[in-house]
Amino acid sequence: MSSISAEKVLPSSRTHRLWWWRDRAIGIAVAWLGLMLLVAIFADRLAPYDYAALDLHHRLAAPLGLGGTIAHPFGSDELGRDVLSRLAISIRISLLIAFGATLIGAVLGITLGILAAHFRGWVEQIILGCIDFQASMPFLVLALAVLAFFGNSLLLFVGLIGLHGWERYARVTRALAMSANEHAYVIAVRQLGARPWRVYLRHIMPNIASTLIVTMTLAFPDIILLESGLSFLGLGVQPPLTSLGNMVGYGRDYLTRAPWILVLPSLVISLTTLSISLVGDWLRDRIDKTLS
Amino acid sequence: MVRFIAVRLARALLTIAVVVTFAFVVLRVSGDPARALLSPETPAEAVEAFRKAWGLDAPLWVQYARYLFAVVHGDLGQSMRDGRSAIAVVAERIPVTLMLTAPALILNLLIGIPAGIYAALKRDSIADRLVMMVAVVGFTVPSFVLGLVFVLAFAVELPWFPSGGAGGWQHLVLPVITLGLGGAAVLARFSRSAMLEVLGQPYIRAASAKGVPWPRVVTGHALPNAAIAVLTIVGFMVGNLIAGTVLVESVFSWPGIGSLLVVSVVSRDLAVIQCIMLVVAAAMITTNVTIDLLYGMLDPRLRDLRSGRR
């Protein structure tokens, strides 16, 4: 924020070239994310079979190009379920969970951040204490403990993943709302008699939204990694439902005999988190460089 | 300085208290362990006997008091699976996990920090771009995918290393590299931005302007200041490492705490999970307190801060 270095003002030809490459990479990342979104939306039309339909005559069938047939273009798994169909549905489930969880985390974190900034005093201290606690424990371990004892339903699972990362939003919102409270426009609106909720929702939120959106983009890959990690361990999304991590987890028993079961979902997870990270970094550089 | 240490220790104790209570709340309020553990066909008398044996028939606050009393006395109950004390079950796994995490942490630091500093010093060069590209890939590829890629490449296709289990040093290579690379990527990114931040400061320009040779500016002025920022993230890295261990141990069937946690979660072994959570919390708190004390040593400015909110 403070340093405007010479090459930013007068780009050399080399930095120009690097930017050009970066823009191409961002373009590809956005295209990939668009593709994933389309697959998620039209998953049931794309899938040639029901994702849970068994085909015991064609177990562990190889994909097209490795000696397989068009019947199962991406191959089939140990129960003869079509990998393409499962992949499409898994992308839908994983993205749905990630969006739901991000929304929960953002709403919770922003609310707590605003409460801390508004009330200050002991309310703020308690919220800051919770942030410290959350940041000091590896969330995967907490999540495993909770899952063990609440049992595992999809709703609980999404809520639990939503709890991951709320502290980022809370921290950012608190800091931004506190500095906004000092700004003339907020003081003016308050002097005019606006209620606190109106000040925060109508006046402060639009001004800090861009930073919060960047935070959300930066937090999104973590959410996908957490969901797929838990599902990989067999403690996340439960069969018969399927998710990307789930496919990798169950596919690893057939790593040598049928690697196609886990290669595609692994690739999808990696490329998706990579694309979101690239887009997030790019957005951060454009909108708010102070975020980390 | 005494005050600084006292505040840090008080906060550490508070965090332990929160973790202990959290463990109790999550583990006891969430459902009936007797129901969860015994099959539905178990006769009612047997369920009652089980409840009595584990003290599950008392009111919740009595259970909480008993629990606190037991924890303070170092008694974390018995593993419900094999009846041994939970502490013993967990303790025998700790060195096994440390065999993975300690070399992985060293690998993190040895790769991550030099790579980040180099990238920052050569800002916007091809080398910088390459390091950062590898780093982004390194922390967005999930550790379990990386582990499976290594198994496929170096255990199946090229049978150089075993694909899992514990044994000689060969068993350590793949899991340690898997754990080490992910963390190194995070550290490289962070070290780079910390270093860039420092290099943009006026005192660096002042040092250069008065004629200090550039290598001396870097080692004498930039690195010590960047080190403070990098230290901040080491605590976070240890947390990441613990979470990563759970996944990587599962990939390589390494018999450490992570595998024990997964098995205990599947079989709902209350006491062992509680014990693991306390061990993890203790590890994190020790790390954070150590880092806080190191701050005090590295940076005299921080000693006088009251509660040291970063």
CATH number at residue B108: 1.10.3720.10
* Cα–Cα distance measured from residue B53 to residue B76, given in angstroms and rounded to the nearest whole number: 15
pLDDT score for B23: 74
List, for residues B124-149, the tens digit of each pLDDT value.
788 888 888 888 888 888 888 999 98
* CB within 8 Å: A142 and B288: no
- B123 belongs to a structural domain: yes
Q: Does residue B278 lie in a domain region?
A: no
Question: Is any Cβ of chain A less than 8 angstroms from the Cβ of B136?
Answer: yes
Q: Is B221 helix (H, G, I), strand (E, B) or coil?
A: helix
In a domain, B266, yes or no: no
Q: Which residue type occupies A177? A: A
* Rounded Cα–Cα distance for residues A166 and A223 (Å): 11
Residue B296: inside a domain, yes or no?
no
Look-up of token digits 């050009």: A20
| CB-CB under 8 Å, A148 with B268 | yes
The answer on B242 and B173 residing in a single domain is: yes
Distance from B169 to chain A by nearest Cα, in Å?
24
Q: Are residues B83 and B165 in the same domain?
A: no
The percent of residues in chain B predicted with pLDDT above 70, rounded, is: 90
Residue B35 belongs to a domain? yes
Interface test mutation site (partner A, options B25, B76, B137, B148, max chain A beta carbons within 10 A)? B148
Select from B22, B144, B268 the residue whose CB has the most chain A CBs within 10 Å, as the one to mutate to test that interface. B144
Q: Which residue of A has its CA nearest to B16?
A: A133
Is B306 part of a structural domain of the chain?
no
Same domain as B222, residue B144: yes
Domain match, B195 and B57 both: no
Residues B168, B63 share a domain: no
Q: Residues B240, B225: one domain?
A: yes
Same structural domain for residues B123 and B238? yes
Banded pLDDT at A91 (limits 50, 70, 90): very high
Same domain, B102 and B243: yes
Residue B248: give the domain boundaries: 94-255
Cβ-Cβ pairs closer than 8 A, A with B, add up to 144
Report the pLDDT value the prediction gives residue B33, as an integer from 0 to 100. 61
B103 lies in the same domain as B211: yes
pLDDT at A31 over 90: yes
On whether both B100 and B248 belong to a single domain, the answer is yes
Task: Quote the ipTM score.
Answer: 0.82
Contact criterion met (CB < 8 Å) for A145 and B273: yes
Q: Do B242 and A141 touch (CB under 8 A)?
A: yes
Query: What is the pLDDT, as a whole number, of residue B34?
Result: 63
- pLDDT tens digits, A236-262: 888 888 889 988 988 888 888 888 888
Residue B55 at interface with chain A, using a CB cutoff of 8 Å: no
Q: Is B190 left (phi over 0), alpha (psi -120 to 50) or beta?
A: alpha
Any domain includes B159: yes
Q: Domain tally for chain B?
A: 2
pLDDT of residue A1: 40
Instruction: Tell me: pLDDT of A53 over 70.
Output: yes
Contact B183, B104 (CB under 8 A): yes
Same-domain pairing of B123 and B71: no
Q: Which residue has the tokens 């705490």?
A: B257
pTM over 0.80: yes
Q: Which of B26, B149, B247 sits opposite A145 (nearest CB)?
A: B26
Examine the pLDDT at A139 and tell me if it is beyond 80: yes
Distance CA B201, CA B219 (A): 15
Residues B113 and B69 reside in one and the same domain: no
- CB < 8 Å to A228, chain B: 142, 144
Examine the pLDDT at B31 and tell me if it is beyond 60: no
Domain boundary among B72, B89, B106: B89
Boundary of a domain, candidates B48, B64, B89: B89
Query: Is pLDDT of B209 > 70?
Result: yes
Q: Mean pLDDT score of chain B, rounded to an integer?
A: 82
Average pLDDT for A45-68: 75
Specify if B282 maps to a domain. Answer: no
Residue of A nearest to B240 (CA): A138
Reported as a single tens digit per residue, the pLDDT across B241-270 is: 888 899 999 988 888 899 999 988 888 787
Residue B37's pLDDT is 62
